[in-house]
Structure 1
Amino acid sequence: MGTITGVLFDKDGTLFDFDATWGAWAQGMAVELAEGDPALAARLATAIGFDLQAARFERASPVIAGTVAEVAALMLPLLPRHDLQSLVATLDLGAQRAPQVPAADLPACLGGLKARGLRLGVATNDAEASARVHLQKAGVGALFDYVAGYDSGHGAKPGAGPLLAFSAAFDLAPATVAMVGDSLHDMAAARAAGMRAVGVLSGPATRADLAGAADVVLGTIAELADWLDAGAP
């Protein structure tokens, strides 16, 4: 369906395995914020759609595709000693400490895409600072031409703003850019921006969840090279 000139990635559930990464973060934040009160920790977890005992997110959890500010707003009624700004800062700091588990061999996969002459970017609903920390820790920060978070001034997904800012920055026609993500938010953002919608199964969504919204559904980003070699059908 045409030449791909750029690939824009979601971060969590796409570059990094979602449950392995954010399960640890959710557990740690719930316990830390509850200050030793297990009942409060459980309520905080429930508020963000996380099963504390199973260490697993519900498929409708706002953490999967929402911003840190949206997650903080759900926790805030249970934490009267916090205000929204300080809670967002606490959650952001915790996110930077979260152990990132790659969904594929990132240096090999991303390096191969870069060697094809493609522009690479990240559009995440995490904070930009956290995203940059995670990418650097994974050893792939230098491979990206563009990193945008919900707080970078372009809006958040499923809005098209961060996607169109990527294409505009490098004078790429949106139709030649592939937006790769694990959620319906990512697919909706791709559609809104006029980009190719590529789903991956390294997040909580199933193939059935994504199939109707994506142009193609791949197992992980490791399959992108084959998809491109096939002409990005």
Structure 2
Amino acid sequence: MNRSSIRAVLFDKDGTLFDFGATWNGWAGRLISKMSDGDAELAQQLAQACRYNLETKSFFPDSPVIAGTNREAAQCFTDILPQFTLEELETRLADEAANADLVPAVPLPPLLNRLRAADLRLGVMTNDTERAARAHLNKAGITDLFDFVAGFDSGYGAKPDPDPLLAFATHCGLKPSQVLMVGDSSHDLIAARAARMSAVGVLTGLASRADLDPFADAVLPDIGHLLDWLSITV
């Protein structure tokens, strides 16, 4: 892996651009409370289904919600809420997610502007919906800094498949070897390996260094350390 050959950076969203726990742990607790409407037993069932700890108000590390698609998150609740179709649950989750209060992992505009000043193309590929992704980027005031934004429903597929990553490379007119994928989950890094891209893990999600090390060229505390890793001084 030659860092000097990198011409584009593709970011995951949740746990990478935005701190996962600080953003989604409290959101999930409020969503479960709203969906259970005061029914403590139902709240516990919903929490168990998506692997969320109501006492600590945090996701368990093996929750399918962490790296899964919006559809996979909705599927957690179909047996418990049979009065709703899967499509209705997907819409409900997407609407709630689009309005989440996001906590950036680092100050994003300065970092992204420095990456762009180094002539790097930037993109976002998330297993969230594209609509929610754009809402979150808009809220953070950074949409215009990205050349490419895709969700699991954008027509390219979802991670850990490599296809959405390869779509970014094609969009930028680059070889996969010229693209760096940055993410907080093994899904992100496995997708990068399958696409023959460089892969950097960050620890602003719920995965540990030990979880990410086998698939990564490097594991960094957060995306703010990319500048040093890429030797960017501009």
**Paired residue for 1:135, among 137, 141, 151?**
137
Counterpart residue type for residue 214 of structure 1: A
Counterpart residue type for residue 107 of structure 1: P
Aligned to 1:24: 26
Q: Does 2:161 correspond to 1:176?
A: no
Can you give the 5+ residue segments of structure 1 that lack an aligned partner in the other structure?
Answer: none
**CA deviation map 1:57-115 (0-9, x unaligned):** 11111111000101111111000211000000000000011110000010111111011
Q: For residue 20 of structure 1, report the CA deviation from its aligned partner.
A: 1.0
- Name the CA distance, whole Å, in 2 between partners of 1:28 and 1:83: 21
**TM-score (ref. length: structure 2):** 0.96
- Name the CA distance, whole Å, in 2 between partners of 1:21 and 1:30: 15
**Paired residue for 1:226, among 218, 225, 228?**
228
- Name the CA distance, whole Å, in 2 between partners of 1:228 and 1:41: 45
- Name the CA distance, whole Å, in 1 between partners of 2:92 and 2:57: 20
Aligned to 1:202: 204
Q: Is the 8 A contact 2:160 2:191 kept in 1?
A: yes
Aligned to 2:76: 74
Q: For residue 9 of structure 1, report the CA deviation from its aligned partner.
A: 0.2
Q: Is the 8 A contact 2:26 2:58 kept in 1?
A: no
Q: For residue 41 of structure 1, report the CA deviation from its aligned partner.
A: 1.1
Counterpart residue type for residue 117 of structure 2: A
- Name the CA distance, whole Å, in 1 between partners of 2:121 and 2:13: 16
Q: Determine what percentage of the aligned residue pairs are the same residue.
A: 53
Task: Kindly report structure 1 stretches of 4+ aligned residues shifted beyond 3 Å.
Answer: none
Counterpart residue type for residue 176 of structure 1: Q
Aligned to 1:41: 43
Q: Is the 8 A contact 1:24 1:98 kept in 2?
A: no
**SS of residue in 2 equivalent to 1:199:** strand
**Paired residue for 1:111, among 105, 110, 113?**
113
Q: Does 2:17 correspond to 1:15?
A: yes
Q: For residue 36 of structure 1, report the CA deviation from its aligned partner.
A: 1.9
Q: Is the 8 A contact 1:124 1:131 kept in 2?
A: yes
Can you give the 5+ residue segments of structure 2 that lack an aligned partner in the other structure?
Answer: none
Q: For residue 46 of structure 1, report the CA deviation from its aligned partner.
A: 1.1
- Name the CA distance, whole Å, in 1 between partners of 2:26 and 2:12: 19
**SS of residue in 2 equivalent to 1:8:** strand
- Name the CA distance, whole Å, in 1 between partners of 2:208 and 2:149: 26
Counterpart residue type for residue 62 of structure 2: A
- Name the CA distance, whole Å, in 1 between partners of 2:54 and 2:148: 35
Aligned to 1:151: 153
Q: Does 2:126 correspond to 1:124?
A: yes
Aligned to 1:62: 64
- Name the CA distance, whole Å, in 2 between partners of 1:198 and 1:131: 21
**SS of residue in 2 equivalent to 1:46:** helix
**SS of residue in 2 equivalent to 1:79:** coil
Q: How many residues align?
A: 230
Aligned to 1:83: 85
**TM-score (ref. length: structure 1):** 0.97
**SS of residue in 2 equivalent to 1:13:** coil
- Name the CA distance, whole Å, in 1 between partners of 2:5 and 2:221: 22
Counterpart residue type for residue 155 of structure 1: G
Q: For residue 25 of structure 1, report the CA deviation from its aligned partner.
A: 2.1
C-alpha RMSD of the superposition: 0.9
Q: Is the 8 A contact 1:24 1:99 kept in 2?
A: no
- Within 5 Å, give how 1:84-103 maps onto structure 2: 84-103=86-105
